[in-house]
Structure 1
Amino acid sequence: YSEEAVVQGEHWQLVTSGSGQCSTPAPNPPTVLLHNRYTLLSAGDKESPPTVEETRPCTTKVEQSPATTARRKRRVVVVGDSLLRGTEAPICRPDSSSREVCCLPGARIRDVTEALSRIIRPSDYYPMLLIHVGTNDTARCDTERIKCDYRALGVRVKEFGAQVVFSSILPVKGRGPGRERCILEVNAWLRRWCRQEGFGFLDHGVLFQEGLLGGDGVHLSRSGKALFGHRLANLVRRALN
């Protein structure tokens, strides 16, 4: 299923892992500067540690007392497009009751914004909400539209009172210099915007290049999926510890 296969009139299916539940299909919509909360992650000699920047998270919810928080189920949710397919095992295997991957094949930023109300449970406590989306949006090379959609998503996630981390958009291959420039520009803006809004930013840089991208130039190879899942799983583990 291609990342860019969603066209007007089609539907995408929410696929979850870790909770044992799947939501019903939803219609098409009309990668944090912290106080060093997360330590640098290491993925071996071939991988440079991911940079996670964070500031104090912005939230519109009333802070819960320690006693109230302790009674609520702790859950980390990773949500985004089909690049998350294949990351379920490394992320959820240690404890599927507190970790969930929600893969929305073909999703754009607006799809994630709409899906969050079906994914986030008010009765649970979220140490972190990790979002990876944006690859499909860059196909149009409309950076202003992409920024606008990210801002709308930012307004939505603040309603949940969770620590939010955005994952940078991964590079693509063979889609033209305009697409590459768009991804670089959006990632640079996304880093600044996350700092301003108090969100986390997981920067993959140019790590996912030759050998880690699949034949279509958009999805990841087997090695790329393993590395991507490892980086996300490390961040999830630190949020729960």
Structure 2
Amino acid sequence: MSVVIIGDSIVRHLKVTCSGSKSAVGCFPGARVLDISKWFPVALGKHGNVGTVVIHTGVNDISSHQSEAFKEHLRSLLDTVKKRTKARVINLGPLPTYWRGSEMFSRLYMLHCWLQG
């Protein structure tokens, strides 16, 4: 059983240590939710028995100012992941970062709150 982490450039240097299992990180710099949807089957196909899939995406989508489209794309991605694997799915979502400005922080925070629901 293994852990696969898929995401944009934020996961680039992530090192994962899982006791008794393998782990892998699939980094797709600049990726948006739809990009992760396309690359997910390839990243998952490289690994055998996947127990957990961690997805980090959304920060690159927020600049388009289309929150409702983002939400629909994310729902579609999560549905696709759930249909293609029996693994536990963890969606990290776009984490708010204040250093990118108050408007970006506000948009990311609102999306993060939506994801929690």
Q: Report TM bin, short chain.
A: 0.7 to 0.9
Distance change in 2, residues 1:101/1:188 (3 Å): same
| 2:86 is aligned with 1:169 | no
The DSSP-based 3-state class of the residue aligned with 1:87 is coil
1:122 CA drift (Å): 8.8
Asked if the contact 2:58–2:94 (Cα under 8 Å) also holds between the matched residues in 1, the reply is: yes
Larger radius of gyration: 1
Partner of 1:84 in structure 2?
11
What value does the CA root-mean-square deviation take over the aligned residues? 2.2
Q: Map 1:181-220 to 2 at 5 A.
A: 181-192=106-117
Report runs of 4+ in structure 1 exceeding 4 Å deviation. Answer: 92-95
**In 2, Cα distance between the equivalents of 1:161 and 1:93?**
19
Per-residue CA distance 1:146-177 (angstroms, 9 max, x = gap):
10110110111011121100114222345443
Partner of 2:103 in structure 1?
178
Asked if the contact 1:138–1:183 (Cα under 8 Å) also holds between the matched residues in 2, the reply is: yes
Unaligned residue ranges in structure 1 (runs of 5+): 1-73, 193-241
Distance change in 2, residues 1:176/1:140 (3 Å): farther
Partner of 1:119 in structure 2?
43
> Which piece of structure 1 moves more, 119-128 or 147-156?
119-128
Give the partner amino acid of 1:84: V
The DSSP-based 3-state class of the residue aligned with 1:165 is strand
Unaligned residue ranges in structure 2 (runs of 5+): none
The DSSP-based 3-state class of the residue aligned with 1:127 is strand
Partner of 2:62 in structure 1?
138
Partner of 2:22 in structure 1?
98
Distance change in 2, residues 1:93/1:189 (3 Å): closer
The DSSP-based 3-state class of the residue aligned with 1:120 is helix
Bigger helix share: 2
Identity %: 28
Partner of 2:77 in structure 1?
153
Per-residue CA distance 1:77-97 (angstroms, 9 max, x = gap):
011000012113xx15877x7
Distance change in 2, residues 1:75/1:93 (3 Å): closer
Give the partner amino acid of 1:135: V
Distance change in 2, residues 1:178/1:147 (3 Å): same
Per-residue CA distance 1:61-92 (angstroms, 9 max, x = gap):
xxxxxxxxxxxxx121011000012113xx15
1:123 CA drift (Å): 7.6
Give the partner amino acid of 2:104: R
The DSSP-based 3-state class of the residue aligned with 2:90 is strand
**In 1, Cα distance between the equivalents of 2:65 and 2:45?**
34
The size of the alignment, in residue pairs, is 116
